[in-house]
Structure 1
């Protein structure tokens, strides 16, 4: 029953947005009475939070599985592949992505999003650390991982939602160039000794 209500909540959220969603509409879409719905969810926000949690968990699992499997892959190959997986995961349901992006701040239920960012950030930090000898000396791994995750997250979300006149391959090439800068010594400081 919970899954049925969450499925209906997703449908209603996509169709009507947060403001237009109601427990009555969710109950109707689920084919149950409002009273039955309240046995599982106390209000609209609880339903929307469950929709957001499920969606972000699905996206996170796809990306995390790819990153973990390809952690030792060269950044030149692994970065665009991982971003492509993220684009695919976000692009499966762009209407739901739009609703999630618009509603998460309002509900402060972004715990799944925060957990995903932390997990991917840790993997990014590990990837940078594994390539310690390739990374410029002055890179702070924690700061770099935090910035990389959020830059990629924001740009991919905006790419999916805004549909700019930028072909996917060009987007992947440009965002990859941005990320790979953390893995290369700048030309002006290439004479600096590397970490041991």
Structure 2
């Protein structure tokens, strides 16, 4: 992981409802401005104008647009949990069904806005909050996958922890790349090939 960029630390943490609503307006406006105008042209003045607040009010919460983008990426990662993981009935489905649920969940979490996703991937700097969020999300995702692999009778890998790490990285990285540019490969083909690759790996197919 790269070191945290201290320039990205938020200037003010909202403690009142009104302040939290203003901060949310900034983030919502920024997502719209970045997606519509691109990151270079997505200035803090444009964001403030779209949020209908003064530029001074914006700077009370964020020191620059890099900090705003980092916070948008934190929100994106926090939405990417796997809430259905605990509901999977392993006795009722094949290993392929379980893998498909994992891959499809990752795809569904990245469908919102390809342009904004591409900007977050290509342009985001790393705040301490973003680094902490990436680490926390990674641990949670790997733990979920490892627990499911341990319960499925068809899994044949030697090291469940390493397998869970590899699967989490493979699914997240490839899904990010595809959904940021969904015209490269049909999503249905991507899902089928990725599911097949992971399933064969977990079964130990030669």
TM-score bin (small chain)? 0.7 to 0.9
For 2:109 and 2:83, locate their aligned partners in 1 and report how far apart those are by CA, in whole Å: 12
- Tell me if the contact between 1:136 and 1:186 (Cα under 8 Å) persists in the aligned partners: no
Distance change >3 Å, CA 71–CA 16, structure 1 → 2: farther
- Tell me if the contact between 2:106 and 2:171 (Cα under 8 Å) persists in the aligned partners: no
The reply on whether 1:80 has 2:61 as its aligned counterpart is no
Superposed, which structure 2 residues align to 1:1-196 within 5 Å?
Answer: 1-58=22-79, 60-61=80-81, 64-70=82-88, 72=90, 74-104=94-124, 106-108=125-127, 109-131=130-152, 134-136=154-156, 139-164=158-183, 166-186=185-205
For 1:86 and 1:16, locate their aligned partners in 2 and report how far apart those are by CA, in whole Å: 27
Corresponding residue SS for 1:91: coil
How many equivalent residue pairs?
181
Q: Which range is displaced more, 39-48 or 171-180?
A: 39-48
> After TM superposition, which residue ranges in structure 1, 4 or more long, deviate above 4 angstroms?
none
Deviation readout 1:13-63 (Å, 9 max, x if unpaired):
2233333332212111111111111222232222222211112222x13xx
For 2:108 and 2:29, locate their aligned partners in 1 and report how far apart those are by CA, in whole Å: 23
Distance change >3 Å, CA 107–CA 165, structure 1 → 2: closer
Corresponding residue SS for 1:136: coil
5+ long unaligned stretches in structure 1 = 188-196
Distance change >3 Å, CA 110–CA 91, structure 1 → 2: farther
With normalisation by structure 1, the TM-score equals: 0.80
For 1:75 and 1:103, locate their aligned partners in 2 and report how far apart those are by CA, in whole Å: 37
For 1:167 and 1:39, locate their aligned partners in 2 and report how far apart those are by CA, in whole Å: 43
- Tell me if the contact between 2:118 and 2:181 (Cα under 8 Å) persists in the aligned partners: no
Corresponding residue SS for 2:109: helix
- Tell me if the contact between 2:146 and 2:161 (Cα under 8 Å) persists in the aligned partners: yes
